[in-house]
Structure 1
Amino acid sequence: MKKLPIGIQTFSELIKDQHYYVDKTPLIAELVATGKYYFFARPRRFGKSLLISTLKSAFSGEQALFNGLYLQDHWDWSVHYPVIHISFGRGVVDSVESLNQIFQAILDETADHYGIALKQQHLANRFSELIQSLHTKFGQPVVVLVDEYDKPILDNIDKDVLAIEIREGLRNIYSVIKDSDAHIKFSLLTGVSKFSKVSLFSGLNNLKDISLDSRYATLCGYTQAEIKAVFTERLAGVDFNQLAQWYNGYNFLGEKVYNPFDVLLYLDQRIFKNYWFETGSPSFLIKHIREKQYLIPDFEKVVLDEAMLASFDVNDITLENLLYQTGYLTIDHVEELGGERFYHLAYPNREVKASLNSYLLRDLTQTAASTVSNNQIQLYKALSQPDFAKLKQSLLALFAAIPNDWYRKNQLAHYEGYYASIIYSAFAALGLKVIAEDVTNQGRIDLTVMLDNKIFIIEFKVLDDTKKQGVALAQIKAKNYSQKYLGAENSVYLIGIEFDKAQRNIEFFEWEQV
């Protein structure tokens, strides 16, 4: 499959520049040769639409587009198949009526393209009629390709009743594909999320899910070898360690891949930025975090079993699964115990970790973005010097800027993880290496922050009437947490931070260098 070269936005324009492409067509050939019905989920901006367009072009017999690619000599170009290309990316579905209107428009446009007159009025019947009519007219079974199959639901995921109604409407549509088996050559549905088969695909239970099939782990996304092989002329001066830290790290149980959207924009602009993150808003995710009073550092130790990883539905959304499905977390490693598989998740890269935590920090503090940004600058300077008086003042200012009304309207400040979450997000948003619940042979460090060769070991405590000041730093020393990082190259600092719930700020701050 060809990937978007620099500056090229559509598949049809790709033929104008044959120099930049990543050939994924061997995987396409294998897909078509070994199966008929597929489902494939990837985060947004990962090339799913381009994959669909590539399949459409191949089945339509557009041979010229594949010159020099594997598929050129591994495809029967003498046979052309009628293709129904369904994309729900056009506009926002805000009602069942708009869903029906969009789908009818797709059916009518396809019928008009192939010179077919549809008579059925009911949408499911009209879809079925189109499939059968195409098979009859052209003497070849039909290819059905569905892009962004889940977007109508995700557009309304925070509106429970409407989301369920739209889900039922989509189920009515997708069930036609199975009922038309005798008339179908190949079908692929792609999307961001994997809704449970019971809820959405009960009528299409013969779909083969290849989302975590290691053979197709690199079907969308760039491997480092592909970047080096294809974009050779644009790689002068590229620091691959930095490139990998920023954009690599997505794991679909095979070789890790870069986000292609990030890579293409970076190679065009040569600036490390949050390209992918800026194309979408995690507002629904943030709402979930706030409602569940989730401890932000716990994002680094999420573990899901096989069933939980695949459990996603309108009325059964877990925060951990939502983070995975939307690409904010990816698979770090898989552990097999007693015949069961457990998936340990992690942030894929610096872009996602820093950007998400910056967003979370603004939500947790309900502080103006400029205020948060200025505070971030001071935090970074304090750590880089290091200047602990400045560090303490920056953290105090961070909590002091939180509006009193925010505490009045929310219960967040009543759980201890709120304070730790703010400081964790403040450091993580700087793009620093931050480890929550850092394991040692004597226990777990609340937070370890690394900047160059400086290691900051931080322990949090929330004071009440029974606790004395100084217990946080005392615990670090008593459990000898610093031993893990002692070395000739490292400067290790111990920091104890203790909060007062009544004052809603840091009550006691002390540090020392090992």
Structure 2
Amino acid sequence: MEKKLPIGISSFEKIRSEPYYYVDKTPFVAKLVEEGTYYFLSRPRRFGKSLFVDTLKQAFLGRKELFQELYLEKNWDWSVRYPVIHISFGAGNILSEEDFLLRIKRILKKNHKTLQLDWEDSSDYRASFEDLIEKAYEKYKTKVVILIDEYDKPILDRIENKELSLTLREHLKNLYGVIKDADVYLKFVFITGVSKFSKVSLFSGLNQLRDITLSKEYSTICGYTQRELEEVFREELQDKDLKLIKCWYNGYSWLGEPLYNPFDILLYLEEKKFHPYWFETGTPSFLVKLLMEKRFYLPELENLVATDSLIGSFDIDRVRPENLLFQAGYLTIKRMFSLADKILYELSYPNKEVKLALNEVLAEYFTGDTGEVPLKTRDFLLALEGNQFEKMKKVLEGLYAGIPHDWFRKNELSRYEGYYASCFYAFLCGSGLEVIPEDITNKGQIDLTVLYRERVYLFEFKVVEGEEGEGKALAQLKEKGYHKKYEGKSKEIYLIGIEFSSRERNIKGFFWEKIN
């Protein structure tokens, strides 16, 4: 092996130049190498996957100077350096098949150059990848490390275009299939992504591949724990409300300790205000459309029970909302339990940021709004503050009036009670209100409960055939005595029955009554 390997530019090196920013995750580097060879890790975007991949890269390149005072400094064999092939699809978006093929060629060519290997121009990316692995092994006389970051991003970039995403899947299958036959040359393989797509050869072709996504021992490999946050950012947090920070940004879990998204924390400390920083880095348009297409009852997002198959790998041909919601980071695991020998997962929003921002987007989409939801939110909150029920009704009428008529022509939304309830739920959650969907009492379930200051508002929904409301929703609330759950706990309790006309497709009955 030659004395010195090319190292290139390192994001890990940049982070290490500002030590307070870096949380030591190097114990996981040592653990991974000690326990296996092939690994896959799924985490949402902006969760520190790329930084961890670069940490692995610098360790295998033998850059001991970057690991001073970190765990790996004294727990790694620095006498051996390995050639590293680094493939990342993180930068930019794939626009077409041609764009994708150019990207692969560029990535492989760059790796040849970095490893000081001769490049032979070819349209056969599979052959070029095989050539890269074998030449690196021969030149440096040691086994090769392969690090693949954002392996699935080309598919996710174009997931709304099924034909193109299937084409890209086949190309990725061919590319990653090379790894299976290169075992004799490989020291270590680590692959990251957001989703676990089936039929890309990784999960069927690599028999030794260990998926550590839901391994409790690796649950904190990315992200900050509460202890890490308070220790590393102690000075910056001295005058901050830790409880509020936790409410906004903590809560992601993969069967281990709850985590903060590093992207949120770093921007919060820089900007010094609460804001959905992570959420705004993505556009969940495909997911929103999928929820609409599946007539997903949005209040279920608060407490969704899923199986392994619903949160595990999935195929482009059969994309389910539960799967995307979990893998993209909009839902997280709150607990794991079993029934009849079947492992189940209880999913919910990780934190306030996601719940508020996602529902604001959902409210805009589900009502066909063109940007006026923030104004309606303001008006509704002002009406709620003053207990002005007629104003509440007018705001909601305006909200439902925006639902595109094309949606009604394509299906029977006008008779779909859950759709109206979903719109209202998304609107309330996006407003930042404390909402309890399907609030359970000893008498049954309240459709929606809103807690505001020292008041409680209990909502019941009905779809009626006529143009005028009949008061049935309010009557049911009173008859069931749902309010008794909150007697003695709140100063004021209000019952609100909302009835929708299937003919007029809007509110036709808005009845309310104060209990105490």
Give the equivalent residue in structure 2 for 1:74.
75
Q: By how many angstroms is 1:488 displaced?
A: 4.3
Give the equivalent residue in structure 2 for 1:364.
366
Q: How does 1:301-450 map to 2 (within 5 A)?
A: 301-369=303-371, 371-402=372-403, 404=405, 407-408=408-409, 411-450=412-451
Q: How many residues align?
A: 505
Q: By how many angstroms is 1:491 displaced?
A: 2.7
Q: Give the Cα–Cα distance (whole angstroms) in 2 for the partners of residues 413 and 53 of structure 1.
A: 53
Q: Would you say 1:54 and 2:55 are equivalent positions?
A: yes
Q: Give the Cα–Cα distance (whole angstroms) in 2 for the partners of residues 88 and 12 of structure 1.
A: 21
Residues 446-484 of structure 1 show CA distances to partners (whole Å, capped at 9, x for unaligned) of: 011112322211110111259971211121222221222
Q: 1:197 to 1:252 in 2, by over 3 A?
A: farther
Give the equivalent residue in structure 2 for 1:134.
136
Q: By how many angstroms is 1:513 displaced?
A: 2.3
Give the equivalent residue in structure 1 for 2:487.
486
Counting aligned pairs with the same residue, the percent is 48
3-state secondary structure, aligned to 1:376: helix
Q: How does 1:38-437 map to 2 (within 5 A)?
A: 38-119=39-120, 121=122, 122-196=124-198, 201-369=203-371, 371-402=372-403, 404=405, 407-408=408-409, 411-437=412-438
CA contact (8 A) 1:118 1:129 kept: no
CA contact (8 A) 2:467 2:504 kept: no
Give the equivalent residue in structure 1 for 2:460.
459
Q: By how many angstroms is 1:92 displaced?
A: 2.1
Q: Give the Cα–Cα distance (whole angstroms) in 1 for the partners of residues 313 and 144 of structure 2.
A: 31
Q: Give the Cα–Cα distance (whole angstroms) in 2 for the partners of residues 405 and 34 of structure 1.
A: 56
Give the equivalent residue in structure 2 for 1:505.
506
Q: 1:463 to 1:489 in 2, by over 3 A?
A: closer
Give the equivalent residue in structure 2 for 1:20.
21
Q: Give the Cα–Cα distance (whole angstroms) in 2 for the partners of residues 77 and 159 of structure 1.
A: 47
CA RMSD of aligned residues (A): 2.0
Of residues 459-468 and 139-148 in structure 1, the stretch that sits farther from structure 2 once superposed is: 459-468
Amino acid at match of 1:249: G
Q: By how many angstroms is 1:402 displaced?
A: 4.2
Residues 339-387 of structure 1 show CA distances to partners (whole Å, capped at 9, x for unaligned) of: 2111111111111111111111111111221x22111001112223333
Q: 1:490 to 1:340 in 2, by over 3 A?
A: farther
Q: Give the Cα–Cα distance (whole angstroms) in 1 for the partners of residues 93 and 402 of structure 2.
A: 37
CA contact (8 A) 2:41 2:193 kept: yes
Q: Give the Cα–Cα distance (whole angstroms) in 1 for the partners of residues 61 and 84 of structure 2.
A: 7
Amino acid at match of 1:148: E
Q: 1:311 to 1:110 in 2, by over 3 A?
A: closer
Give the equivalent residue in structure 2 for 1:6.
none
Q: By how many angstroms is 1:500 displaced?
A: 1.1
Q: By how many angstroms is 1:16 displaced?
A: 2.1
Q: Give the Cα–Cα distance (whole angstroms) in 2 for the partners of residues 101 and 198 of structure 1.
A: 19
Q: Give the Cα–Cα distance (whole angstroms) in 1 for the partners of residues 117 and 401 of structure 2.
A: 67
3-state secondary structure, aligned to 1:315: helix
CA contact (8 A) 2:40 2:211 kept: yes
Of residues 459-468 and 56-65 in structure 1, the stretch that sits farther from structure 2 once superposed is: 459-468
Q: Give the Cα–Cα distance (whole angstroms) in 2 for the partners of residues 422 and 492 of structure 1.
A: 23
Q: By how many angstroms is 1:163 displaced?
A: 1.0
Gaps of at least 5 residues in structure 1 are 1-8
Residues 488-510 of structure 1 show CA distances to partners (whole Å, capped at 9, x for unaligned) of: 44432211111112222211112
Amino acid at match of 2:357: S
CA contact (8 A) 1:170 1:200 kept: no
Amino acid at match of 2:135: S
TM-score by length of 1: 0.94
CA contact (8 A) 2:180 2:205 kept: yes
Gaps of at least 5 residues in structure 2 are 1-9
Of residues 254-263 and 395-404 in structure 1, the stretch that sits farther from structure 2 once superposed is: 395-404
Give the equivalent residue in structure 2 for 1:5.
none
Q: How does 1:30-41 map to 2 (within 5 A)?
A: 30-41=31-42
Residues 225-246 of structure 1 show CA distances to partners (whole Å, capped at 9, x for unaligned) of: 1111000110122112211111
